[in-house]
Amino acid sequence: MFLPNEGAGFWPLISRGAVLGGTMRSRSRASYFAFELTHDASAFLPLLVGSVIAHAFTEITLKRSILTEKVARRGYHLSREYAVDPLEILFVREVMRTKVVVLSAASTLGEMQQSLRPDHRQSQRLLPVVDEEGRFVGC
pLDDT in tens, 20-59: 888 877 777 777 887 788 887 777 888 888 888 888 888 8
Report residue 91's pLDDT band, with 50, 70 and 90 as the boundaries: confident
CB 103 within 8 A of CB 130: yes
Its pTM stands at 0.45
- Average pLDDT for 116-122: 61
- Average pLDDT for 92-99: 82
Cβ within 8 Å of residue 90, ≥6 positions away:
none
Distance (Å, rounded) from C-alpha 81 to C-alpha 71? 11
Domain extent listing, the chain:
10-73, 95-138
CB 128 within 8 A of CB 102: yes
CB 21 within 8 A of CB 31: yes
Largest Cα–Cα separation, the chain: 93
Which residues partner with 138 through β-bridges? 129
CB 108 within 8 A of CB 94: no
Distance (Å, rounded) from C-alpha 20 to C-alpha 83? 21
